[in-house]
Amino acid sequence: MASALVDTGFVLRGVVARGDDPRAAAAGVDVVIIATPDAVVGEVAAAIRPVASTVVLHLSGALGLDVLAPHERRASLHPLMPLPSPEVGRVRLRTGITFAVAGDTMATRLGRALGGRCIEIDDDHRAAYHAAACITANHLVALLGQVQRVADSAGLGLDAFMALAAATLQDVADLGPAAALTGPAARGDVATLAAHRQALRPEEIAGYDAGVALVRRLAQSGAVPAEPVRPQPVPAGMAPCA
């Protein structure tokens, strides 16, 4: 985040690393960005000596603004994008991604400076928003981990299935989840599903069954959009930044 903002013209006054004293972090700067694990955001914020003109901002998708007490100007800026390394993150943060923002307008200023789209998420909808983000990223990665394990049992590598995964994601983007759905669980092919379960190692069956249940729920929903999915107005509690 620091490198990406410097690339857009912001001046970095310093980095307070783990073990450093953060008490004076808010002195002489416009914004302090807390980029720590969620569990210690409040501890770090409380350790920083408040400066009335300085915004204290966290990058958590799950936390509200109350965790930033006692600071008067509070904000949050959550990039809706995986950032697996500083080098990758520096680039991805400037590719027009979505940022969830709340609180002081500094969050919107930073998101826009990075070329992003900002959506406001209030505290009441924060947990649902973050759960959706985690399902999208974390659960998808774990699911592909299962693909890798099952493929290995057939003497194949994950690479053989990546084009399938990419095409499926594109179909979801173009058509919506229900219309993109294919396969035996959606068709009700019970014999094929049973053969799959027979071929799987016992430790993989629970995950497979959970996936089948989700497919069946989607197939039965009948929620097939008539047109390709396009950016839609954000639901109540989530508003595009003005």
Q: So what's the pLDDT on residue 240? A: 54
Residue 185's pLDDT is: 96
pLDDT band at 226 (very low <50, low <70, confident <90, very high): very low
Give me the pLDDT at residue 227, please: 45
Confidence tier at 224 by pLDDT (50, 70, 90):
very low
Whether the pLDDT of residue 144 is over 80: the answer is yes
Place of tokens 């955001």: 41
For the chain, the residue count is 242
Which distant-in-sequence residues (6+ apart) come within 8 Å of 77 by Cβ?
Answer: 33, 57, 58, 59, 99, 100, 101, 107, 110, 111
Backbone angles phi, psi at 234, to 5 degrees: -75, 140
166 pLDDT higher than 70: yes
Of the chain, the percentage scoring pLDDT greater than 90 comes to: 90
C-alpha angle 80-51-93 in degrees, rounded to nearest 5: 20
Q: At residue 170, does pLDDT exceed 80?
A: yes
Give the domains, in start order, of the chain with CATH numbers: 2-125 (3.40.50.720), 128-221 (1.10.1040.20)
For residues 79 and 92, what is the distance between their CA atoms, to the nearest angstrom? 10
Return the pLDDT at 5: 97
pLDDT digit string, tens, across residues 54-109? 999 999 999 999 999 999 999 999 999 999 999 999 999 999 999 999 999 999 99
Cβ–Cβ under 8 Å, residues 115 and 95: yes
pLDDT level of residue 190 (50, 70, 90 thresholds): very high
| Residue 225, pLDDT above cutoff 90 | no
Answer yes or no: is pLDDT of 169 > 60. yes
Give the C-alpha separation, 45 to 41, whole Å. Answer: 6
Cα(103)–Cα(111) distance, rounded to whole angstroms? Answer: 13
Q: Tell me the residue type at 76.
A: S
Question: Quick one: average pLDDT of 164-172?
Answer: 97
| pLDDT tens digits, one per residue of 172-189 | 999 999 999 999 999 999
